[in-house]
Amino acid sequence: MTLHATIDRVTDRIRQRSEPVRSAYLGKIAKAAEEGPRRAHLSCGNQAHAYAAMADKDDMATTRKPNLGIVTAYNDMLSAHQPYERFPDLIRRAGHAAGATVQVAGGVPAMCDGVTQGRAGMELSLFSRDVIALAAGVALSHDCFDAALYLGVCDKIVPGLVIAAATFGHVPAVFIPAGPMPSGLPNDEKSKVRQQFAAGEVGRDALMAAEMASYHSPGTCTFYGTANSNQMLMEFMGLHLPGSSFVNPNTPLREALTVAGVERAAAITRLGNDYLPAGEILDEKAFVNGMVGLMATGGSTNLVMHIPAMARAAGVLIDIEDFHDISEAVPLMARVYPNGLADVNHFHAAGGIGYMIGQLLEAGLLHEDVRTINGTGLGGYTVEPKLDGARVRWEEGARDTLNDKILRPASDPFARTGGLKQLEGNLGRGVIKVSAVAEERHVIEARARVFSDQEQVKAAFKAGEFTEDTIVVVRFQGPRANGMPELHSLTPTLAVLQDRGLKVALVTDGRMSGASGKVPAAIHISPEASTGGPLARVRDGDLIRMDATMGTIDCLAEDFETRRPAAFDPSTSSEGMGREMFAFFRTHAGPATEGAACVV
């Protein structure tokens, strides 16, 4: 199938924009690769320190077996990462069977946005991505590894690990997922109880029972938020093995896929004939494929910041106009909560990623000619993993949807476009996700209520102050203000207002969760208010027009351009819960439109 003209044009635009930095990047990793297996350059003393604790240290000292380094985000506080506790032993056994040695190179932190929503700790969340990249860099700095296995799932963890994998781009990289928890209380029922609690209709005991029935076992949360969007992304970009993203933890197939991932890592080192450095996988075509997957699945808006940051680490420059243009060309093929009632287990059963990739390739909406850890182009990702004894084999995947209420062909999608829009006007640049927003709410013109944090919004709601159509402006939430926390805890409040018949929208220089959906939200507005961005000039009562159809966002006050911006008070978010230690990150973060990162 001929490549779609828009996908071709956007890819070429990214290639041209990136050419100087991408060429320099490829030269850097090529030079690193020319030096051969890195540990060969270590002194005997250096090597003895590196191998002292290994049971097979004599193999390391006397043979040319590949040495695989594990970078793990394991902790047993996060349900998504708890399954990784068993992975190092499994990986060691699989590595030895494949003729390799294995070491845990290091661990990286992994925090849960579900725990920190609405709390001070959420102000560390986005910057934890940079910390993860740095920690993974420390793990790999020992220069002992012929390939790296990255164990991570959730919101900032995968992007941070990809930044590290790109930075050490001469080292082959295989990402090993852990899988989603089995289905529990349906996500729409959980959301309904949250709204009932916000409206005072049920007590905390009912809310707690619903939450515990939804989040109930090891594995990733089952809604299609940032964590599961990450897993989709790794498969569309060729860093996972085919069909591995949404296989449940602690199952024989999950274990067999992990073993297969280790075998691939051992096979693609520079010691063999199939050397595949991570930096060559992470090119402009891979990132375009990832963006196509994001739009076709209705994935998390957080990836609109993470993808540019990951790409920049590989010398690829992505702009939000690229997301917008790709979204206009790519149909929405999936309905997974919050964009539908199904969860990721239902999505996987309906045909999942393999079906979608096949459909999108046939429609000319994906680059097939990419390098992947599977040793194939993207056409090798239309298959489905099955158990064959204790091993995995791949069969032809579904060619027809197995549930058209969840997954539809590209020729008959749920929506013609992916539902992500760029917004631009005198309030700055940002994005809005409309895939779950009713069409009659795509354009809202209403008076503004201006707040400096989400708690002020909740207090105004409890005081009964929202009685008319309102655009809620929550400013000073950008990366340089308070670390750009998610404002997901506003979702039940705003949803209640919307259900009362009001037209309501959110405008913010902060983020919303990948689980947010039906309330229109203009997010990531840049320049941010704390640096004098336009949101700092908005006042209560200003008429604001947010038009997702035309892609505009403007304050209609006549004197708007001449106003003095409101000043940000940094004392509100500079201390407590470790925020003191993150002052450097707040000072040096880039704009949201470029990924809001410090390390790239």
CA distance 373 to 235: 10
- DSSP E strands: which ranges in 401-442? 420-425, 428-433
DSSP string, 220-266: B-SSSSHHHHHHHHHHHTTSSPTT-TTPPTTSHHHHHHHHHHHHHHH
With H, G, I as helix, E, B as strand and everything else as coil, classify residue 509.
coil
Residue 555 annotated as lining a ligand binding site: no
The Cα 475–Cα 481 span in angstroms is 9
The secondary structure of residue 330, as a DSSP letter, is: S
Number of Cβ within 10 Å of residue 217's Cβ equals: 13
**Neighbour tally for 395: CB within 10 Å:** 11
Instruction: Determine contact, residues 386/394, Cβ cutoff 8 Å.
Output: yes
| Angstrom distances, CA of residue 376 to CA of 32, 106, 183 | 25, 30, 32
Encoded amino acid at 462, one letter: K
Residues contacting residue 55 through CB under 8 Å, at least 6 positions apart: none
Closest residue by Cα to residue 550 from 449, 444, 418:
444
Helix (H) or strand (E) holding 296: helix 284-297
Let me know: does 302 contact 226? Beta carbons within 8 Å: yes
Q: Which helix (H) or strand (E) holds 51?
A: helix 44-51
Question: Of 304, 352, 306, nearest to 327 (Cα)?
Answer: 304
Judge whether 144 is annotated as a binding position: no
Pairing of strands 428-433, 521-526: antiparallel
Q: 441 to each of 287, 321, 403, 447, 492, how far by Cα in Å?
A: 31, 22, 28, 15, 17
Question: From edge to edge, which strands make up the β-sheet containing 147-151?
Answer: 101-107, 67-72, 147-151, 173-176
- Amino acid 402 reads L
Location of structure tokens 């106009």 = 321
Angle (nearest 5°) at CA 55 between 49 and 56: 85
Length of the chain: 600
Q: Give the residue numbers of the binding site.
A: 154, 221
Q: Give the residue numbers of the binding site for [4Fe-4S] cluster.
A: 154, 221
